[in-house]
Amino acid sequence: MTTADTATGKERKRTPATPAMILGKTGWVIVQVFLWLFFISVVFPMFWTLLTSFKTSFELYNRPWGLPETPRWDNYVRAWAKMHVGTYLFNSLFVSAVSLFCIMGIGSMIAYALARYDFPGNRVIYFIFIAGMMIPGWLAFIPAWFLHRSIGTLGTHAGLIIQYTAVSLPFTVFFLQAFFKTLPKELEESAIIDGASLYMVFWRVMMPLAKSGMLTIAVFNFLGVWNEFMWALITISKDSLKTLPLGMSNLLEVGYYQTDWGAMFAGFIIMLVPTFIIYSIFQNRLTEGITVGALKG
Amino acid sequence: MLEREKWKLIVPFILPGLLIYLVFALYPSARGIYVSFFNWSGLTRNMQYVGLANFAKLWKELTDPKDFYNLRIYLSHNLFLFCWALLTIFLGLVVAAIINNKPVGYNVFRVTYFFPNVLALPAIAVLWSMTLNPSFGIVNMTLKAIGLEKLALPWMSLQYDFPLFKLGLYTVGWIGLWGGLGWYMILFLASIQNIPIELVEAATIDGASKAKVFWSITIPLIWETVRTVIVFAVIGSLSGFALNFVLFERQAVKHADLILSYYYWQAFSNNKWGYASAIVVGIFIVTLTASIFSYRFFGRETVQY
């Protein structure tokens, strides 16, 4: 760079095309307006719901933008007591935790055996699992419903956990098998030479190495189970066993029926807290999992 | 390593999971296809083999305009949502292209736009029911306060006429866009960032304009992603159910029902399990055809530099 001319002229040409240049000025303004409007459409409803959860019904109708005069914590108390939010929360936590434990345990063992051991049938088993990713879930709903009825798990948490585990395995195996293949083999081999058993190698050598991949797929599976609606809807009828998505779908009805808006908003906020926490911690893991699942699968 | 010792790990590691998967996921799917050839009311144990009669009935309901259940109308709702999905894909691509240049606040946009994807569908339905509520929803309250009372429409109404469909279905389309935009954005962002920067540089040195670079390099290189997400859009718009189910529970649903709502009704209210299975098999065939078609006919256009 000797002169100002080369610095401004040639260098600018090398920068990748900016959208402003592709779209033109008017287009650029339209896009900017759209970006901000969409941003508001995501943030504002959440913010408004949070604010309203601290208001009385009178304030909801008459001071829609104002802050509540005094924060109405009793909305939360009523939501917890009357709308069974606590029960739903506990049920969801229990079902999700146990399902996640089963999915990760079983899934990682299968993926490890498939990735690291060559044996007749390896490809076939892998293919059988991968095929499950292409089959739509509702194809299995009716027969699975009858299957669970005949073994006595219909309408129970066990029924949810078994089904969630079964349908989450394909993607988990697919993701972890690919992940295990990227890990170096040397450590395992030296551990075996040092006399470690094959199980020890899996637990002590492989698992610590696989932490990152395990975490990504765990976050992914957790949210999948946490938000699952269809299967819970058609199997769970007892209110005391319902999970959060079912509770959510009841929320409107309860709110309208009792016209207790404050409690309805508060209940909604309580139900969203776990999702919000998970998202703020694991946001990057989640987008990574989705990218792998959609583009490489 | 001894061969026998190897099996001591393989068998206990694979067998339990494989059994659970075969029994609770794969077998019911296969069984679902099987029962679509039967007349079966579920509660009685008799299944009566009817061949393709369920599919013939499905076809008749789809093509006969006088049919009582208006399956054609439901399918048109699915198609309408598919159009919304295409719009969502387009906007997702535009947003990804812009965000890729890391404008001010780019991370905030990225994180915020993706957020709706972690919400359960009933949560999304409840959130928008409250926000768009005609009496206390903040959208109509705001519109009324700033003098745009004419725009304060009954957004959730399935009685309010709009071009082609009722207004409530437009709202479903909007909610789908709201939820899906961030997802498509993430996918496009990942595939745009996979483009080797040298290609862009080389083209620029050869004198290609910025617009030309975008249309001749970026678009062809992410074509595979475009193809994939269109298949997703087909699958997604055919498997819509939960959102409408929660949103319109208390209204006459004829104007918002989707194919899967009909399936749900046939199976769990009408006890026509065989026919209900035929409906999902039909959807499966359509989505499978869409994926195969997309790979078979658009596959060759994929560019690899």
Q: How confident is the model at residue A270 (pLDDT cuts 50, 70, 90)?
A: very high
The pLDDT tens digits of the residues spanning A79-89 come to 888 888 999 99
Q: Which residues in chain B are closer than 8 Å to A110, comparing Cβ atoms?
A: 13-14, 17-18
CB contact under 8 A, A142 and B121: no
pLDDT at B67 over 50: yes
Domain that holds residue A143: 90-241+284-296
Q: Which residues in chain B are closer than 8 Å to A135, comparing Cβ atoms?
A: 25-26, 29, 284
CB contact under 8 A, B200 and A17: yes
In a domain, A249, yes or no: no
pLDDT at B4 over 80: no
* Mean pLDDT of the residues in chain A: 86
Total domains in chain A come to 1
Tokens 């989450």 map to which residue? A168
The pLDDT tens digits of the residues spanning A155-187 come to 999 999 999 999 999 999 999 999 999 888 888
Coil, strand or helix: which one is B48?
strand
The pLDDT tens digits of the residues spanning A1-59 come to 333 443 344 444 444 555 555 667 787 788 888 889 999 999 999 999 999 999 988 88
In a domain, A130, yes or no: yes
B252 compared with B178, residue with greater pLDDT: B178
Residues 23 through 42 of chain A touching chain B, CB cutoff 8 Å: 31, 34-35, 38-39, 41-42
Nearest CB to B136 within list A141, A230, A261? A261
Q: Where are the domains of chain B?
A: 1-30, 36-301
CATH number at residue A117: 1.10.3720.10
DSSP lists the bridge partners of residue B166 as B161
Most confidently predicted of A196-200, B3-7, B92-96: B92-96
Q: Tell me how far CA of residue A27 lies from CA of A22, A56, A128, B107, B208, in angstroms.
A: 9, 44, 48, 22, 21
In a domain, A228, yes or no: yes
The pLDDT tens digits of the residues spanning A92-124 come to 999 999 999 999 999 999 999 999 999 999 999
Domain B36-301 has CATH 1.10.3720.10: yes
Do B65 and B72 form a contact (C-beta atoms < 8 A)?
A: yes
CB contact under 8 A, B197 and A45: no
Do A292 and A175 form a contact (C-beta atoms < 8 A)?
A: yes
pLDDT at B86 over 90: yes
